[in-house]
Amino acid sequence: MSGGPSQVDTFDPKPELARLAGSDVPESIAGNVPKIKRAGLKNLMASPWEFQQHGESGIPISSLLPSTAKLADELCILRTMTHRNPVHGPGECVALTGTGAGDRPSLGAWSVYGLGSETRQLPAFIAMNLHTDGMQHPQAAGWGAGFLPSRLQGTVVDPVKGIQNVQPPPGVTERQRRREIDAIQVLNRRFLESVGPHSELEARIRSYEMAFQMQTAAPELFDISAESAETVRLYGLDETATSNVGRALLLGRRMAERGVRFIQIRVGGWDAHGNIKGNHERMAARTDKPVAALLEDLRRRGLLNSTLVVWGGEFGRTPTMEGRGKGRDHSPAAYTVWLAGGGVAGGRIIGETDPIGYTVADRPITPQDLHATILHALGIDATRLTFDHHGLVESPLGVIGGAPVREAFG
């Protein structure tokens, strides 16, 4: 959810904001705000939405997200995500690679490095980027391999157009194409032997074979005509607001069924500096129904227990009003991410923020902790997943380190 969904307007209700609306942030809280955000400590603003408790767990969720609220008992809500980078691009790099520099492997690349691939017909790591509301271009580091072998990087596909040029030219048979690929591979491997180990060349050689395999598998993956009318309605493919996100999430489910290990979907547009109400209502209308549909669909098919779903942005938003437009500024000091499925215990909240939702009061969770948690759900100890990078033994947690949020697992 790129752009920064507001925690105090979605999953972290703060009644104190209504009482203090128009006031400055109390000094008892302001003292804990990073210096880089000290300029935005004036004019607290109440949430435009009401919160209600949902499910047997009684988790409070904003009226902004009515479909997700119906599945409250599946959610493990991490309210105290925190880091110190308030800029979108570096923030996305922090969220997906662990650092703002964009020079480390993405979590998807680490996951495939640790687990390998379940299918030879499709990439093990696929990214889909939905551009909305003029959000900046996605950060390529978010699906990059960094210093890991290039073959581990994500494959970017368009959820609407599918994989381009997957059909062979007219008159080219599968047998003819197979012979062409074999000839190319002989030449490539002969060159590889002459230059020695070369990660990018090895990835290119592998990509030729993958492209050939995808000519069979990809058209079937992206052909959703066999899905039932009920499934089409569930994801909102028959509605203008939800059709694009719904299609991406439905494809995500189909990818998971076909052995794609790591599926990353970016929905840009949550950056609400000028009008939090208009922006978040528009973005919720696009995403709430499809996100809930994915959870429900996975549950119906018996896939939710073996599929981890993670929802969140690169940071949250301030509890204060920005300018006079009733928007909210970027705020990485405390924000919300939720997990569902994949062995995670649903119906629980982990961590507590201060009375206005600006800073962490108890149980801070860093992006590195989140990465360790995701890898733990996949059966991987992040500290033991290592790679020798020019003599430096690297792990997904880098020099910063982190640990799984074990409370999320019961």
CATH number, position 63? 3.40.720
CA angle 132, 281, 253 (to 5 degrees): 60
pLDDT by residue (tens digit) across 84-110?
999 999 999 999 999 999 999 999 999
27-36, 43-52, 289-298, 342-351: the lowest-pLDDT one = 27-36
Average pLDDT over every residue of 41-60: 97
Residue 317 pLDDT > 70, yes or no? yes
Domain with 404 in it: 7-159+243-409
The pLDDT value recorded for residue 184 is: 87
Average pLDDT over every residue of 263-283: 96
Give domain status of residue 231, yes or no.
no
Share above pLDDT 90 across residues of the chain, in percent, rounded to a whole number: 77
Give domain status of residue 303, yes or no.
yes
Average pLDDT of the chain? 93
Residue 284 pLDDT > 90, yes or no? yes
The pLDDT value recorded for residue 37 is: 64
**C-alpha 140: how far from chain center:** 13
Give domain status of residue 78, yes or no.
yes
The pLDDT value recorded for residue 173 is: 86
When divided into structural domains, the chain yields a total of 1
CB within 8 A of 248, min separation 6: which ones?
128, 130, 159, 265, 267, 290
- pTM tops 0.85, yes or no: yes
Q: pLDDT category, 164, cuts 50, 70, 90?
A: confident
The pair phi, psi for residue 226, each rounded to 5°, is: -80, -10
Nearest partner of 209 among 190, 170, 172, 183, judged by Cα? 183
The pLDDT value recorded for residue 408 is: 98
pLDDT by residue (tens digit) across 389-408?
999 999 999 999 999 999 99
Handedness of CA 280, 281, 285, 288 (dihedral sign): positive
The pLDDT value recorded for residue 182 is: 87
Q: pLDDT category, 154, cuts 50, 70, 90?
A: very high
pLDDT by residue (tens digit) across 337-371?
999 999 999 999 999 999 999 999 999 999 999 99
Give domain status of residue 15, yes or no.
yes
Residue 295 tokens, joined: 């959870």
Q: Which residue has the tokens 């997990």?
A: 339
Give domain status of residue 37, yes or no.
yes
Residue 40 pLDDT > 80, yes or no? no
Average pLDDT over every residue of 38-44: 82
Q: pLDDT category, 197, cuts 50, 70, 90?
A: confident
Give domain status of residue 216, yes or no.
no
Compare 215 and 15 and report the one with higher pLDDT.
15
Q: Which residue has the tokens 């307007």?
A: 9
- Tell me the C-alpha distance between 345 and 410, whole Å: 5
- Tell me the C-alpha distance between 353 and 358, whole Å: 7
Q: Please state, as a whole number, how many other Cβ atoms lie within 10 Å of the Cβ of residue 306.
A: 11
- Tell me the C-alpha distance between 140 and 118, whole Å: 24
Residue 162 pLDDT > 90, yes or no? no
Give domain status of residue 88, yes or no.
yes
CA angle 279, 284, 288 (to 5 degrees): 170
The pLDDT value recorded for residue 133 is: 63
Q: What is the DSSP string of 75-101?
A: EEEEEEE--S--SHHHHHHHHHHSSTT
Give domain status of residue 204, yes or no.
no
